Amino acid sequence: MITYYDFEKVDIRVGKILEVQEYCRHRLGTYYKELITILGELREATKRAFQADWFNYAFLGNGTRHLHGHFVPRYSSPRIFEEITFVDKLWGHNYRTDHDFVTPPEVLEAVRIKLEEELS
């Protein structure tokens, strides 16, 4: 059973995080190991492809009973890819989607191809 965590007060300590990790390992079994392996491979490919400085991971299941995950590369300085400058305006802080910034579909495809190359 997972203990209630008061996220408003940010009362998360290493012991509690380890407790949640152990719960996930127990409940998800081999799927947990596979998820950790996939995230590690994606992290390393993203480092090579885009020189990411850090990563944020968020996994939610608030609305329905499924796991919804975000993998967010973070950058301490601007990166240029496909002639577009990407700026992590909240570097060092919580990430938040910038809904005013729209990545063109052809750039998203170029990102997919670049990561695919790094993963193969």
Mean pLDDT of successive 10-residue stretches along the chain, which has 120 residues: 36 50 67 82 93 88 72 93 92 86 90 91
Task: Classify residue 2: in a domain, yes or no.
Answer: no
Q: How many domains does the chain have?
A: 1
If we measure between CA atoms, which residue out of 98, 52, 56 comes closest to residue 77? 52
Q: Are 82 and 76 in contact (CB under 8 A)?
A: no
Task: Classify residue 73: in a domain, yes or no.
Answer: yes
Query: What does the pLDDT read at residue 77?
Result: 96
Q: Letter for the amino acid at 53?
A: D
Task: Classify residue 76: in a domain, yes or no.
Answer: yes
Task: Classify residue 29: in a domain, yes or no.
Answer: yes
Task: Classify residue 58: in a domain, yes or no.
Answer: yes
Task: Classify residue 1: in a domain, yes or no.
Answer: no
Q: 56 lies in which domain range?
A: 7-119
Q: What is the pTM of this model?
A: 0.71
How far lies 81's CA from each of 33, 39, 49, 74, 108, in Å? 32, 22, 10, 15, 10
Instruction: Give the CATH number of the domain where residue 113 resides.
Output: 3.30.428
Query: What does the pLDDT read at residue 113?
Result: 93
